[in-house]
Every structure is written in structure tokens, then in C-alpha cells.
């Protein structure tokens, strides 16, 4: 898939049910059918955000890679993998999950459509996204402003005291 039309992408993966690490590793393996040159961050453990009080902690990673598919097709593939791994079709937004895959960045594109917002609307507010992404792609400029992932990570750390 490494051809001139390959687009760099960044995805966030999280799991808070079962063998979280194995769940994420399986999802990465399944993504290899759509992404080339996959690079994975270290695992990052985080408390659930906007979830019920009894939700389990999440294990998260960020992966970067290149794809030859469009953003909507990439979203469909991420959703297909979630379902294949056991996510019910009627799954609630903030419920426990075997795997959750979010598109963070798709090249330098800005997309605001029903069901698809790129860059991910909450990515610069979430340490469990920015810290792993900064580890593997700290110089990536987040459109449209152009602040780098590393800069956003430092700003978030200063504002949250972490």
C-alpha cells in the first residue's frame, strides 16, 4: 500500500474489557489489512472518561500508518473491526467495550460531516490520546491551526498539572 496516494493516518485504540492488551493487539493486526507501515505507541492506562462510575480502566494506544482508502471507508473499516471483535451494534457511546477505534488524524485534512469529525474533536483534551501520539508522531501538525501534537501535549500537561 505504500504508493504515492497513501495518506498518513493516526488512530486511537482503547479497551476496558477482558484481556485489554490482547484485544488491542488483535485490532492492530486486523487494521494491517487497511494500513501499511503501522507504528504503535506504548500502552497507556487511563480512567474512563464520561463513562458510568463503575466502568473499568482503559488500556490505550495510538497507531500511525498509511492508507490508500478514503476517510469514510477507513471509518467503516474501524467500525467493522469493532463489530467483528464483539462490539454490539446497539452499543452505547460511553459503555464498556472490547475495543474502540477512533480516527484522530487523516493527513492534514479537516472533515466535519455527520458521524465523522477529523481531527477528532476531543483529541487535544485527552492525555490518553496526546501522550501516546506524541511518543510516535510529536511533530505532526494538527489542522487547521497547525500546532504540533507535542506542543498540544505540553499545553495539556500544563493545564492539568500532569
Cα–Cα dist 49/60, whole Å? 12
Helix (H, G, I), strand (E, B) or coil at 21: helix
Q: Is 151 a catalytic residue?
A: no
Active-site choice (20, 96, 97, 151)? 97
Question: Following DSSP, what letter does each residue of 79-138 receive, concatenated?
Answer: HHHHHHTT--TT--TTS--S-EEEEEEETT--EEETTEEES-TTGGG-HHHHHHHHHHHT
Name the catalytic one among 96, 102, 126, 151. Answer: 102
The one catalytic residue among 87, 96, 126, 151: 87
100 is catalytic: yes
Helix, strand, coil fractions of the chain, as percent rounded to 5: 30, 25, 40
Decide if 80 is catalytic.
no
- What is the Cα–Cα distance from 65 to 63, expressed in whole angstroms? 7
Give the sign of the dihedral formed by CA 78, CA 82, CA 84, CA 90: negative
Q: Of 96, 100, 126, 151, which residue is the catalytic one?
A: 100
Catalytic residues: 87, 97, 100, 102
Amino acid at each position: 500500500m505504500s504508493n504515492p496516494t497513501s495518506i498518513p493516518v493516526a488512530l486511537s485504540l482503547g479497551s476496558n474489557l477482558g484481556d485489554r492488551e490482547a484485544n488491542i493487539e488483535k485490532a492492530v493486526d486486523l487494521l494491517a489489512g487497511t494500513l501499511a507501515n503501522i507504528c504503535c505507541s506504548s500502552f497507556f492506562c487511563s480512567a474512563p472518561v464520561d463513562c458510568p462510575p463503575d466502568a473499568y480502566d482503559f488500556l490505550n494506544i495510538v497507531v500511525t500508518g498509511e492508507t490508500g482508502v478514503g476517510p469514510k471507508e477507513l471509518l467503516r473499516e474501524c467500525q467493522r473491526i469493532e463489530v467483528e471483535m464483539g462490539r454490539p451494534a446497539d452499543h452505547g457511546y460511553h459503555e464498556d467495550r472490547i475495543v474502540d477505534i477512533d480516527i484522530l488524524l487523516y493527513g492534514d485534512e479537516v472533515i466535519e460531516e455527520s458521524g465523522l469529525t477529523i481531527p477528532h474533536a476531543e483529541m487535544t483534551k485527552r492525555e490518553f490520546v496526546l501522550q501516546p501520539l506524541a511518543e510516535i508522531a510529536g511533530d505532526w501538525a494538527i489542522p487547521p491551526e497547525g500546532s504540533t501534537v507535542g506542543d498540544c501535549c505540553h499545553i495539556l500537561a500544563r493545564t492539568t498539572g500532569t
